[in-house]
Chains A and B, each alone.
Chain A
Amino acid sequence: MNYSAELSELIEEFQEIDDKMERLEMVFDLADEVNLLPIEDWNDATRVHGCQSEAHVKVSLVDSNVNFLAGADSKLVQGLMGILTMAIHGINADEVLTLTPDFATEMGILNSLSPSRSNGFRNMFDKVMNEIKQQM
């Protein structure tokens, strides 16, 4: 799979970390990468189902590039949203649609999470991809 330079670098950074705590700390830090979807815009349409936390995403296309807004009541979930932001935000929709959740597996982050959290990430990924497809 060919990833963007930024995403490839991020995958490598995660792969270099052995300690689960440090990996989680890095996910926490990536919460700052999210383009925040304001809480007042959270609704049923933006909700990521199957996630134990409140997690909301909104996708639009600007000149065929993905504009990704997100927000969650958990910093860890928001960190996962930050990773997805780095993977898809501002990138051409056709290119984004070639992505699979494998990049998160390669990072080793899904193994660091509870099954419910890693399922939540997959649900978020699927929701985002479906919404991109619908808007193309």
Chain B
Amino acid sequence: MRDEFPILQRKINGYPLVYLDNAATTQKPSSVINAMNDYYLNSNANVHRAVHTLAGEATEGYESCRTALKSRFNANKAIITSGTTEAINLVAHAWGRANLSDGDAVILTEMEHHSDIVPWQMLAKEMNIELRYIPVQKDLTLDMDLFEAAIDGAKLVCVVHISNVLGVCNPVADIVRIAKANGARVLLDAAQSAPHQDIDFMELGADFMAFSAHKMCGPTGIGTLLVADDAFSEMQPFLGGGDMIETVTIHGSTYQKNEQKFEAGTPRIAEAIGWTEAIKWLSGIDIKSEHERILQSARWLASQLREMGMTVYGRHDDNDAAVVSFLHPTMNSEDLAHLLDARGFAVRTGHHCAQPLLERLEITGTVRVSLYFYNTHEEVVSFVNYLSEILERFA
């Protein structure tokens, strides 16, 4: 598998790259890079309108991404966005503005990424809606009793499927069931789960699901919002412009009926073509067994780090992601990351765009190791060995 990812052959400071920052973005296989390159070399044109050959190829390539998304995640509607952040903002603007009113409540959790907090805070300022945050407990799970207590009067529940900091997988099936029983719609931030799990959107029953291509071996700059049919019918256009209209006169416009209604302007064609290849690549591997393999490595890493005196933030249950966030009792996280980089180990430090969660944990940041399917256990072992060396020399 590693041979398919050219960048993994790279050396950093003369040492083999050990890429452990996959929750931020994943590397791309040759098939994705080649497909995007081939599009620009041979098929570049704008989509949907023109009748010439190139336009046909570009349209087919772009729409193949939508088809692949619908098929892989079992959804009827897949709006192509610039990523998870835009997808969530789209729910806020296209659904929120049309369906929320004074005094309505939106439920969030303390585990959310900033991209699932800030759009709602911005909307709350404009529309006088109430934001209710479900706390994270000491065992790093959401307080479901408080969720049930908060659901009354809520119109929308926004929840992260898998935490980008902790790797904790939330009980989204229960959350959807409780929300639906109370007439609330559900927006799932699947940025970290879609790359790691087989998700059946319709079976899960959520109304919206947002995720990005670049965390699942696809290109940056493209993502999607999967939408259930009834929620789709409640959405009003947000961005106006070309491609989203049926007709335009000086007196007014009519809009497309399908997902294009929310895709104004020239879309991300090369990126869509690249993402289609990434989805093909993912479909070609056994995600379940690969996930179990890297989760085992994450569990081993967590135990080693604890033995080294680190505080580890994560529980690594079966559905959790292979993410290990940790802190050394005295050594600054960024100092550690610089020293790791000197030998080619790429990790993430900082607040991971989840400051409310870190505030709950009473910390300001962590060092985060996040694995993907091309990582090997040997890489994790070499990470532990080198970390021990760093601590001996510098801590």
Asked if residues B393 and A76 are in contact (CB atoms below 8 Å), the reply is no
B contacts, CB < 8 Å to A: 13, 331-332, 334-335, 337-339, 341-343, 350, 393-394
Q: How far is the CA of A82 from the CA of B249 in the complex (A)?
A: 68
A125 at the interface (CB under 8 A from B): no
**CB < 8 Å: which of A19, A20, A76, A112 contacts B335?**
A76
A21 touches B342 (CB 8 A): yes
Would you give 15 A-B contacts (Cβ < 8 Å), ordered by A?
Answer: A20-B341, A21-B343, A24-B339, A24-B342, A25-B393, A25-B394, A28-B335, A52-B350, A74-B334, A74-B335, A75-B335, A75-B394, A112-B342, A114-B334, A114-B341
Besides A21-B339, A24-B339, A112-B342, 6 other A-B contacts (C-beta < 8 A)? A24-B338, A25-B393, A25-B394, A28-B394, A53-B332, A75-B331
- A20 touches which one: B332, B342, B394 (CB < 8 A)? B342
| Residue contact B339 to A53, C-beta cutoff 8 Å | no
Main secondary structure of the interface of B (DSSP, over half): helix
Q: Is the CB of A117 within 8 A of B332?
A: no
- Give the A interface residue count (CB, 8 A): 16
Cross-chain contact A113 with B332 (CB below 8 angstroms):
no
- On chain B, the residues within 8 Å of A114 by CB distance are 334, 337-338, 341
- A73 located at the interface, meaning its Cβ lies under 8 Å from any Cβ of chain B in the complex: yes
Say how far A26's CB is from chain B's closest CB, in angstroms.
12
Q: How far is the CB of B182 from chain A (nearest CB, A)?
A: 42
| Residue contact A75 to B332, C-beta cutoff 8 Å | yes
Q: Within the complex, what minimum Cβ distance (angstroms) separates A113 from chain B?
A: 7
Take A25-B393, A28-B394 as given contacts and tell me if A74 and B342 are in contact as well, using a CB distance cutoff of 8 Å: no
Give which listed residue, A19, A73, A117, contacts B338 with CB less than 8 A: A117
Determine the residue in chain B with the shortest Cβ distance to A74.
B332
In the complex, which residues of chain A have a beta carbon less than 8 angstroms from the beta carbon of B338? 24, 76, 112-114, 117
Residues of B within 8 A of A53 (CB): 332, 334
**B339 — which chain A residues lie within 8 A by C-beta?**
21, 24
Report Cα–Cα, A52/B364, bound state, in Å.
11
CB distance from A127 to the nearest CB of B (A): 20
Residues of the A chain whose Cβ atoms lie less than 8 Å from the Cβ of B350: 52
Within the complex, the shortest CB–CB distance from A103 to chain B, in Å, comes to: 20
Tell me how far the C-beta of A25 lies from the nearest C-beta in chain B, rounded to whole angstroms. 7
